[in-house]
Amino acid sequence: MLTANTATALPVPAIYTSAEQQVKIPYGKSGFITYDLTKGLLNVTNNGESVFTNIFSSVKLNNATITSKAYTVRKYSKTTATTGFGKGIKHVITLTGKDVPQMEQVFYTYPGYKYFFMEVSVKGTNLQTNDLVPFEGNFKNITGDTRSLFMPFDNDTFISYDARPFKKPTDVTSAEAGVVYDNTARNGLVVGSVEHSIWKTGVTTVAFPDKANFIQVQAGYSAEAVTRDKIPHGMVKGNTVKSPLIFVGYFADWRTGLETFGKANRIAEPPVVFNWTKPTPVGWNSWGVMQEHLNYEKVTKVADFFADSLKNFRSGNTAYIDMDSYWDNMTRGGLNGDFSKLKEFADYCKAKGLEPGVYWAPFTDWGWGGGPDRKVDGGDYTFGEVWTKVGDKYHDIDGARAMDPTHPGTKQRIALVIKKLKDCGFKMIKIDFLGHASAESTHFYDTTVTTGMQAYRKGMEYLINQLGNQMLIYAAISPNLATGRYVHTRRIACDAFKTIKDTQYTLNSVTYGWWQTYLYNYVDADHIVLSTEQEGANRARLLSGIITGTFITGDDFSAYGQWSARAKAFYQNPELLKVVANGKSFKPVDGNTDKGASEVFTRKIGNSYYVAVFNYGNEPKSFKLDAARIGLPVLKTYTATEVIQNNKATFTNAAINIELKQADAALYKFDIK
């Protein structure tokens, strides 16, 4: 944990040239950044209330930490700036001094925005650092059921979000964003990075027992349990070194703040992938049950089931039949070999009115146990040459070895496989284990690349360029935020299958990551498996997918069982398919569940208000819902329909009482009478 005392300012005399001692920068309707030119510190107020105090910036160079407090001269200037966020004002504090590199603290404000952006840069000759802190200091005491949200860097190893009680003493370091809020009143702050092509960013929040709350945004974050890195963050080098752009806001509702943050990420780093304008993806993926038993006979029987028994399970007349790992059971000669059976499968799907899908992990070597001298498919390099180097070892996780995304051998392999899959006629691809491409390395083949996120950008841009515009691109295991530029849809958590525990695990990520629905075209809850679970557990798993945003099923429909009959009833429900067509995640009602999930989620679609309610427990449960808290207009009477079972009722907002059996869920559609 980094604390406020870790930075050691260089002792310099206090000499200033500006006639003004303070600069007051307005943002939003009633927000102000007040910068003290005599001290190199800034304060932030919102609606007249102090939110952040004694904020400064720092950089670590040659084992010495230089802070904005250490400079002798600070000057302020401003210009207009037009960016993806619109026309705003760029405010620059230029800091100079003896024997220190020039520092610039830059603020961007835009009319009507209730937040601002900040970045810091240092200028000199041949600078290098892996520790650049644009924003560090204190923040207000937020009372009530106060939480500090741990956000994972990715969705690997069944990691969870964690809304930890923020009581003294507590410290939380979260990947890319920090959020502290009162779950009851919902007010809270959101501070995080909206740029991810160079740095991994960590946000630390600390509730000290005897002094003010502390926050630090560190570009250069590396922690094996979170970022998966086995070595420190790579050095960023140059005559100018700049931090990522940091989003800073305080909101009446932390959920609005996170949705705003998600939208800001998509603007700050616009998609490289082509925009998806077709309907919400629905369909099937083989990993749910079939897994390594995937073969041509089985998968074509699944296509038959969709064509004959699930004719109405479509979105815009489309459903995908997606082969996951082990499609190579249908090839001969490895990746260099015969893909004709895959083309036959793709043609079969199309003849049935379905879209064929496939899977690949482009940056991993699963056969590394065979030794380093094996030839990489598509070229003359060996795997030993292309493995990502970590000192005298390699980067291994999930049983796979990472391949250097910048290496020509990795690129040749990607070009070979993607061309073959495109030639087969696939219309969807699920790409997996992308986090392997973001690993910090001792060195990369491309010597201009020195950090894991630079390597990730190089690798993903090359991959997307090879894929072109033919396929829906779906990411499975991958960085949460940095992947937004490259794919259409992304799985929000790790693998999930059929049980109520799978449902709760998935919905933990929806509870605290639903806002990523504004970063991607779609987010996904992984394959929905019914299997032989009780009907209530089936309803819960079904709804976990629908309220996440897409609907990919996973049972083995090549064989007939309980799941087949239930799929016919559940998946062709026209009212459920209307919700699927909306394609956006539902919002959590509560965020005080630690590593658990909210029990209630809501979304307004058209003139209707949808409320999804989950009972994760093994006993029946009564829910008493407050209309205002779940977002219904107050002082109204509603007709309500439980969408799955088509039960109808009338509620007033004074008495919305719902009973659920154990391990069950319901989706209510409320319409004002």
The mean pLDDT of 486-493, rounded to a whole number, is 98
- Residue 606 has a CB neighbour count (10 Å cut-off) of 9
3-state percent helix, strand, coil for the chain, nearest multiple of 5: 25, 35, 40
Helix (H) or strand (E) holding 460: helix 452-467
* The CA-based dihedral angle spanning residues 68, 226, 541, 576, taken in that order and rounded to the nearest 10 degrees: 30
Q: Is the pLDDT of residue 1 over 80?
A: no
| pTM, entire model | 0.95
pLDDT at 656 (0 to 100): 87
The mean pLDDT of 355-363, rounded to a whole number, is 98
Instruction: Mark out the alpha helices in 523-619 (DSSP H runs).
Output: 535-546, 562-571, 574-582
The mean pLDDT of 337-348, rounded to a whole number, is 97
Q: Is the pLDDT of residue 264 over 60?
A: yes
Contact predicate 520/265, CB 8 Å: no
What is the distance between the alpha carbons of residues 585 and 587, in angstroms, rounded to a whole number?
7
Q: Where are the domains of the chain?
A: 22-268, 319-489, 588-672
pLDDT at 20 (0 to 100): 66
Q: Band of the pLDDT at 648, cuts 50, 70, 90? A: confident
What is the distance between the alpha carbons of residues 47 and 342, in angstroms, rounded to a whole number?
61
Q: Band of the pLDDT at 329, cuts 50, 70, 90? A: very high
Q: Which of 72, 36, 23, 59 is nearest to 136 (CA)?
A: 59
SS3 186: coil
Angle at alpha carbon of residue 349, lines to 346 and 354, rounded to 5°: 125
Q: Band of the pLDDT at 635, cuts 50, 70, 90? A: confident
pLDDT at 638 (0 to 100): 87
Q: Which of 13-17, 276-280, 572-576, 593-597 has the lowest mean pLDDT?
A: 13-17
pLDDT at 653 (0 to 100): 74
Q: Domain 588-672 belongs to what topology?
A: Immunoglobulin-like (2.60.40)
What is the distance between the alpha carbons of residues 6 and 56, in angstroms, rounded to a whole number?
13
pLDDT at 4 (0 to 100): 34
pLDDT cut 70: percent of the chain above it: 97
Pair of tokens at residue 285: 């993926």
Tens digits of residue pLDDT in 189-225: 999 999 999 999 999 999 999 899 999 999 999 999 9
Tens digits of residue pLDDT in 130-153: 999 999 999 999 999 999 999 999
pLDDT at 370 (0 to 100): 96
Please give the backbone phi and psi of residue 385, each rounded to the nearest 5 degrees, phi first: -75, -30
Tens digits of residue pLDDT in 522-580: 999 999 999 999 999 999 999 999 999 999 999 999 999 999 999 999 999 999 999 99
Residue 117, amino acid? F
Task: Classify 22-268 by CATH class.
Answer: mainly beta
Q: Which of 323-327, 494-498, 639-643 has the lowest mean pLDDT?
A: 639-643
Q: Band of the pLDDT at 2, cuts 50, 70, 90? A: very low
pLDDT at 634 (0 to 100): 84
Tens digits of residue pLDDT in 610-620: 999 999 999 99
Contact predicate 337/331, CB 8 Å: yes
Contact predicate 162/594, CB 8 Å: yes
Helix (H) or strand (E) holding 86: strand 86-96
Q: Is the pLDDT of residue 654 over 90?
A: no
What is the distance between the alpha carbons of residues 430 and 550, in angstroms, rounded to a whole number?
14
Angle at alpha carbon of residue 545, lines to 540 and 548, rounded to 5°: 120
Q: Is the pLDDT of residue 34 over 80?
A: yes
Task: Classify 319-489 by CATH class.
Answer: alpha beta
Please give the backbone phi and psi of residue 350, each rounded to the nearest 5 degrees, phi first: -65, -35
Q: First-to-last CA distance in the chain?
A: 54
Q: Strand 320-322 relative to strand 282-285: parallel, antiparallel, unpaired?
A: parallel
Residue recorded with tokens 């995937």:
294
- Average pLDDT of every residue of the chain: 95
Q: Is the pLDDT of residue 16 over 70?
A: no
Asked, colleague to colleague, whether 319-489 and 588-672 share their fold, the answer is no
pLDDT at 26 (0 to 100): 96
- Per DSSP, 19 falls in state S
pLDDT at 217 (0 to 100): 98
Q: Strand 49-61 relative to strand 41-46: parallel, antiparallel, unpaired?
A: antiparallel
Tens digits of residue pLDDT in 411-444: 999 999 999 999 999 999 999 999 999 999 999 9
